[in-house]
Amino acid sequence: MPDAGTPLIRIRGLAKSYHRGEQDIAVLLGIDLDVAAGEFVALMGPSGSGKSTLLNLIAGIDQPGAGTIQIGGVDIATLGEGELADWRAAHVGFIFQFYNLIPVLSAFENVELPLLLTGLSARQRRERVTQVLALVALSDRADHLPSELSGGQQQRVAIARALVGDPTLIVADEPTGDLDRATGEEVLSLLEQLVAELGKTIVMVTHDPKAAARAQRLVHLEKGVLVDELAA
């Protein structure tokens, strides 16, 4: 882990292009960005600005064409696919717009899923899952299938799943995009709680200015470059 005062995430000269036919389409152009441990940062920008690509690179889902992405002192841009998958499993919790829950598994089993890849015993897994379901106020819904839960409850299950492995970093891609305003506000309050009480670091992509305003800092992208940063 980095020393005190060193950013948890330190990105320098980050570039990414995609090939479409014979064309190279540049999506990110020399991004420099620092995110402190325990910070809640929102990424905003118009469609095609590169915000989702940047989130995927930070999460280790994709690999850059150039530049460095140091997270906790590890430059993940240098890791091979297998190493990157191991790093992701150990350090990143994911929250998606459409929850990505397994329909035939209960809330408890969905949250437990990432722990099945660890060496934890059944008892240790049960303790961890029980703890995070309590944190998201869903202890009484542990045995329910996703279809028996509201959208807000499903997203809280997804947040519990993201937390259960005690990740270094949580990445959230439009976490309120499929929710009504009131339910979205509840989910954002929960994310704020994770930062304030657990010291989690969250990087969130959103198109919603009201959601972005709940973060501590707003980073705006346009056409693959950072155009400004604002304290939310």
Instruction: Identify the pLDDT of residue 159.
Output: 87
* pLDDT for residue 34: 94
Instruction: Sketch out the chain's domains with CATH numbers.
Output: 39-55+80-231 (3.40.50.300)
Average pLDDT of the residues in 210-225: 91
- Per-residue pLDDT at 18 exceeds 90: no
Confidence category of residue 2, pLDDT binned at 50, 70, 90:
very low
Give DSSP secondary structure letters for the chain: -PPTTS-SEEEEEEEEEEEETTEEEEEEEEEEEEE-TT-EEEEE-STTSSHHHHHHHHTTSS--SEEEEEETTEEGGG--HHHHHHHHHHHEEEE-TT----TTS-HHHHHHGGGGGSS--HHHHHHHHHHHHHHTT-GGGTT--GGGS-HHHHHHHHHHHHHTT--SEEEEESTTTTS-HHHHHHHHHHHHHHHHHH--EEEEE-S-HHHHTTSSEEEEEETTEEEEEEE-
